[in-house]
Amino acid sequence: RTIKEKRDAYVQRLNDIYENNVKKAHIDIIRGYGKFTVDPEPTIEVDGKKYTAPHILIATGGRPAVPSDSEIPGASLGMTSDGFFDLEELPRRSVIVGAGYIAVEIVGILSTLGSKSSLLIRHDKVV
């Protein structure tokens, strides 16, 4: 719980710093779902309104793709790395599926904190 609270506060502080720096640079922040248009000048449309500027940055964010239970039985019992950061209590046992640095870091953190942890690595062909 302490780690989660400190992590949340740290992320919020970073987000505030980034947003303040953007505002200091006189950059408009437009929140919503956007798409590029076919207009000759760089233009995006966000929630029905068009914006044109010499430079446009779209911060897409990201969401993990979670399989359905019909694709992988029991998938709904799991969580993504985002869910890991929402944990308020240490699980007694944990299984992390993945081979990327986030999976390795999470299994290391959980194990170090005392959760009996396993790391599963998926591969599609026998080597």
Task: State which CATH number among 3.40.50.150, 3.40.190.10, 3.30.565.10, 3.50.50.60 fits the domain covering 75-120.
Answer: 3.50.50.60
Query: Does residue 84 sit in helix, strand or coil?
Result: helix
Give residue limits of the domains in the chain: 1-52, 75-120
pTM over 0.75: no
Q: Which residue stretches of the chain have pLDDT < 50?
A: none
Instruction: Provide the residue type at 109 as one letter.
Output: I
> How far, CA to CA in Å, does 76 sit from each of 69, 90, 96?
6, 19, 14
Q: How far is CA 21 from CA 59, 88, 127, in A?
A: 15, 31, 49
pLDDT digits (tens, 9 = 90+) for 40-69: 999 999 999 999 998 888 887 777 778 899
